[in-house]
A and B are shown apart, each in its own frame.
Chain A
């Protein structure tokens, strides 16, 4: 049981690190001759990856996975709410820019 739990935490950590490293490739794709270029796709993907990481941290590291259903739902809705707020602010800004 102990080994299983530790192995799971290790795999979760590996996934989180892998997603972090993907940012290097995303950044490379949105940089032209050393100067960052505007990209809605990169912005959306970067925010989605960040929120996926937040959910993984909550579920696995913060042990929400084994918590009462009310906390599981609350944290899921919270991440969703963060997504709506962030994308809402970004796209509202794009619309009036």
Chain B
């Protein structure tokens, strides 16, 4: 995107209804990624029905409350980045930057909780090779966390955009937020499939 294409000034608070939030490219990416994740989920669900007792036994070693807590942390980070977009749109860049940092902080908290959960499970003898359930558990949670780590780079771009008046682009802010929300909704489905389905 060239500098002249950027929207460097605060735009009106109500986004025009005929504009795709973040631009088309990020939506192509998000839908493509969600198609890939959905294919993983389908393989998981199909295999689960073939070895039901193995999956139920594996699931009994998870802490549901921890999964719920992780979900709430990530949902709160999504809320923060949605506020970040609205503040930027209204030209309140200090508040927007604060919300971007809050988003990153909650992302870090999610990562800490996830690593603690992995360590607890591995110490209890549940590893990638210990059962089919844990193969899926570690595969899906690790690949999600890789997306989360990419999300931190995206939040870095967001902060870079917000930190200088000359660089500010509302579309880039929305693009970064759209990516972060996609990391959130991937987790929402992963959580339901790994911790709750029976």
Contact = CB atoms under 8 A, between A and B. Distances in A.
B130 interface: no
A23 B192 contact: yes
Nearest to A10: B79
Q: Does more than half of chain B's interface fall in helix, strand or loop, or is it mixed?
A: helix
Interface string B19-35: 11110000100010010
Interface in B34-79: 34, 38-39, 41-43, 45-50, 52, 56-57, 59-60, 64-65, 68, 71-72, 75-76, 78-79
Interface string B78-106: 11011101100010000000000000000
A86 B45 contact: yes
Contact of B46 (A6, A54, A64, A89): A89
Contacts of A88: 42
Interface of B: 13-15, 17-22, 27, 31, 34, 38-39, 41-43, 45-50, 52, 56-57, 59-60, 64-65, 68, 71-72, 75-76, 78-79, 81-83, 85-86, 90, 174, 177-178, 181, 184-185, 188-189, 191-193, 195-198
Interface of A: 1-2, 5-6, 9-10, 12-13, 16-17, 20-21, 23-24, 26-27, 30, 34-40, 42-43, 46-47, 49-51, 53-54, 57-58, 60-64, 66-68, 71, 74, 78, 81-82, 85-86, 88-90, 92-94, 96-97
Contacts of A17: 72, 75
A93 to B, nearest CB: 3
Q: Does more than half of chain A's interface fall in helix, strand or loop, or is it mixed?
A: helix
A38 to B, nearest CB: 5
B21 A35 contact: no
Contacts of B72: 17, 20
Which 10 residue pairs are nearest across A and B when measured between Cβ atoms?
A93-B49, A50-B192, A89-B42, A46-B196, A63-B21, A39-B198, A93-B46, A13-B79, A43-B197, A42-B198
A5 B12 CA distance: 13
Contact of B64 (A27, A53, A96): A27
